[in-house]
Amino acid sequence: MLAGKKILLGVTGSIAAYKSLHLVRELTKAGACVNVVLTATAHEFVSPLTLKVFSGQPVLSSLFDPENDMAHLRLAEEADLVLIAPVSAHFIAKMAAGLADDLLSTLLLATKAPTLIAPAMDLGMWDHPAVRENISLLKKRGIQVIEPESGPLASGKEGVGRLACEQTITEAVMTLLFENHPPLSGEVVLITAGPTEEAIDPVRFISNRSSGKMGYALAEVASQWGADVTLISGPTQLSPPSGVERISVRSAAEMEKAFNLKLYASSIVIMTAAVSDYRPVSTAKQKIKKTGSVRTLDLEETPDILETRALGRDDQLVVGFAAETENLIENATKKLKNKRLDLIVANDVTLEGAGFDVETNIVHLIKRAGEATALPKMSKRLLAGKILEETLKIRTIPLPSLP
Ligand code: C5P
């Protein structure tokens, strides 16, 4: 996603400076060229040599480096984005005052690139009125602040002040970079999410553990990347992401109706919903009473919304999900073929940190051409970006015909 992007990463004197190594790794893995600039105090916490090895670029600190004459102007001009992570209370104050007494502060005055800062400090410092006022001044100047997180701090206290996790920072970088060139502009994306509820009687239903988080994350990222997004959602606790049209449904039949109405107009279809496979043959009009004996419930299959879709278009990209508890790749590949999908996201829901109602997921992406890519555990939001990115790539490669 970040191929061809130049990111200038400033690292200042904070105990969290060592985390800049993970950030450099994440950003370079996403394709970015990362130029690191350290302040004098950052040297106390992290080694320039390690950062040089991780980034593959020279690490600069001094305004007066004979090898890198005018580095502040060159770096300031070339950067697509400036990220300072971690930024200390001291450096925030320098930025607010507009000081320029070292390489990093000087190039901040010289750059026109969008700037993101990720503060890290002890909770008393983060709450101090001087820091609060400096932060609000920087925000007024258009600098984006990635708020610190709550948790255990280096001082041994608990509270807000920890550097945001590297995934949150990477996501903020992507969002800011794509504001001007959204990769999904012009796309009409249809996403289904959440469980369905199949009524047994007026108060009982058959459902599953789906929280809808994966589908909502996809809708949020797709909308941020410029798509026109419709989210057909079963019952969930989640609020619709801003800019997304949500159609709320309960049963598989309602989801199918809404899906078929929106299908033809969509250029990308992503079916994350955990549609109930069975429903009661009939729904009792009144609440079913206890009889004191064993009861059986007659079930019939629900329509397979993806498989039976009729009004699709040839140029449409279709992505499905497979939540499995055994033979992951084999079962998911079968579904990819039977449901005529371009991509299937397969997850073993028995793994910790994967599947229903958790913030992360561990999946394999399987394309129609057959290759399966195993992805490491990651936030559902970051995964949403990866799925969208892989889906778009399919457009650019010719597909083999279906057997
Ligand atoms: O066959 P299985 O339910 O595992 O298939 C999963 C994929 O098919 C998911 O993308 C799911 O949203 C979709 N599906 C569907 N209609 C059903 C059941 C599943 O569209 N009745």
> How far, in Å, is the centroid of ligand 1 from the Cα of 139?
44
User: Using a 6 Å cutoff on CB, does residue 346 contact ligand 1?
Assistant: no
- Do 193 and 319 sit in the same domain of this protein? yes
Alpha carbon dihedral 392, 393, 397, 402, in 10-degree steps, equals -70
- Do 146 and 67 sit in the same domain of this protein? yes
State both tokens at 42: 């950052």
- Do 124 and 233 sit in the same domain of this protein? no
- Do 196 and 170 sit in the same domain of this protein? no
- Do 131 and 241 sit in the same domain of this protein? no
Last residue of a domain, one of 144, 177, 210: 177
Residue 398 binned pLDDT confidence (cut-offs 50, 70, 90): low
User: Using a 6 Å cutoff on CB, does residue 121 contact ligand 1?
Assistant: no
What is the Cα–Cα distance from 205 to 32, expressed in whole angstroms?
49
- Ligand 1 atom 5, closest CA: 322
In sequence order, the β-bridge partners of residue 228 are 188
In tens, the pLDDT along 212-258 reads 999 999 998 898 788 999 999 999 999 998 789 999 999 999 999 99
Q: Identify which has the larger pLDDT, 40 or 355.
A: 40
Mean pLDDT across the stretch 138-162? 90
- Ligand 1 atom 17, closest CA: 304
Last residue of a domain, one of 148, 177, 206: 177
CA distances, 389 to each of 184, 193, 228, 297, 376 (Å): 9, 19, 16, 43, 16
If one residue of 233, 306, 328, 348 were mutated to test the ligand 1 pocket, choosing by the most ligand atoms within 8 A of its CB, it would be 306
Secondary structure E strands in 164-259: 188-193, 198-199, 205-206, 228-233, 245-248
Strands 158-162 vs 149-152: parallel, antiparallel or unpaired: antiparallel
Domain membership flag for residue 401: no
In ligand 1, the atom with minimum distance to the C-alpha of 277 is: 21
Last residue of a domain, one of 113, 144, 177: 177
Tell whether the model's pLDDT for residue 286 goes beyond 60.
Answer: yes
pTM: 0.66
- Ligand 1 atom 4, closest CA: 322
In ligand 1, the atom with minimum distance to the C-alpha of 324 is: 4
User: Using a 6 Å cutoff on CB, does residue 84 contact ligand 1?
Assistant: no
What pLDDT score was predicted for residue 180? 61
Tell whether the model's pLDDT for residue 332 goes beyond 60.
Answer: yes
| Percent over 70 (pLDDT), the chain | 96
User: Using a 6 Å cutoff on CB, does residue 321 contact ligand 1?
Assistant: yes
Mean pLDDT across the stretch 351-375? 86
User: Using a 6 Å cutoff on CB, does residue 335 contact ligand 1?
Assistant: yes
> Active site includes 208?
yes
- Do 173 and 192 sit in the same domain of this protein? no
- Do 126 and 211 sit in the same domain of this protein? no
Q: 16 with 152: CB under 8 angstroms?
A: no
Q: How many domains does the chain have?
A: 2
- Do 172 and 211 sit in the same domain of this protein? no
Our CA angle for 394, 397, 400, nearest 5°, is 90
Domain membership flag for residue 402: no
Domain membership flag for residue 116: yes
Q: Identify which has the larger pLDDT, 401 or 147.
A: 147
Our CA angle for 251, 252, 254, nearest 5°, is 65
Q: 55 with 7: CB under 8 angstroms?
A: no
- Ligand 1 atom 2, closest CA: 322
User: Using a 6 Å cutoff on CB, does residue 273 contact ligand 1?
Assistant: yes
In tens, the pLDDT along 338-362 reads 999 999 999 988 888 887 878 888 9
Burial class, 380, CB count within 10 angstroms (exposed 0-12 / middle 13-18 / buried 19+): buried
In tens, the pLDDT along 319-328 reads 999 999 999 9
Average pLDDT, the chain: 91
Between helix 129-140 and helix 89-97 the angle, nearest 10°, is 50
Indicate the SS3 state at residue 142: coil
Mean pLDDT across the stretch 50-54? 95
Domain membership flag for residue 403: no
Q: What is the domain extent for residue 122?
A: 6-177
Return the CATH number at 37: 3.40.50.1950
- Do 170 and 222 sit in the same domain of this protein? no
- Do 34 and 139 sit in the same domain of this protein? yes
